[in-house]
Amino acid sequence: MSAKLVKILPKSVLCELQEVKVLRKWEPGVNSDGVQREPNKPESEDQKQDFIENLNLKIDHLDPDQQRQLQDLCYKWKDVFSQGPLDLGNTDLVKNEIKLEDERPFKDPYRRIPPALFNEVR
């Protein structure tokens, strides 16, 4: 990652697209064909604890059983959490500033919904 400006020439190849298969439902440990994947080497309790600590969960208000359930759930779905600076997630590497004319709150007007989409919006 860099904040340095890059000049992209016209007709430059920026990326390569790959065909993908859209999944309607995803479960950890199951491949895209619905077949159970062979588990990799079992992860140690230390690896699980390190993952949970890196999430920075504030769970002191929960009782121990609830804490364990939440930690198990987060660990089961660990693939959805950002685990590095290049993953989607939150970052402190980039600052964003939204410039407003003044600090008064504003409200956008309601937008009309096309009649063809009424049932979909419900």
Highest-pLDDT range among 9-18, 23-32, 57-66, 77-86: 57-66
Q: How far apart are alpha carbons 55 and 49 in whole angstroms?
A: 10
- Going by C-alpha positions, the residue among 82, 33, 38, 18 that lies closest to residue 56 is 82
Q: How far apart are alpha carbons 59 and 74 in whole angstroms?
A: 12
For 60, other C-beta atoms within 10 Å of its C-beta total: 6
What pTM was estimated for this model as a whole? 0.42
Greater model confidence, 72 or 43: 72
Whether the per-residue pLDDT at 27 is higher than 80: the answer is: no
**The residue type at 56:** N
DSSP secondary-structure letter at 80? G
pLDDT, tens digit (0-9, with 9 covering 90-100), for 44-71: 788 888 888 888 888 999 999 999 999 9
Greater model confidence, 46 or 29: 46
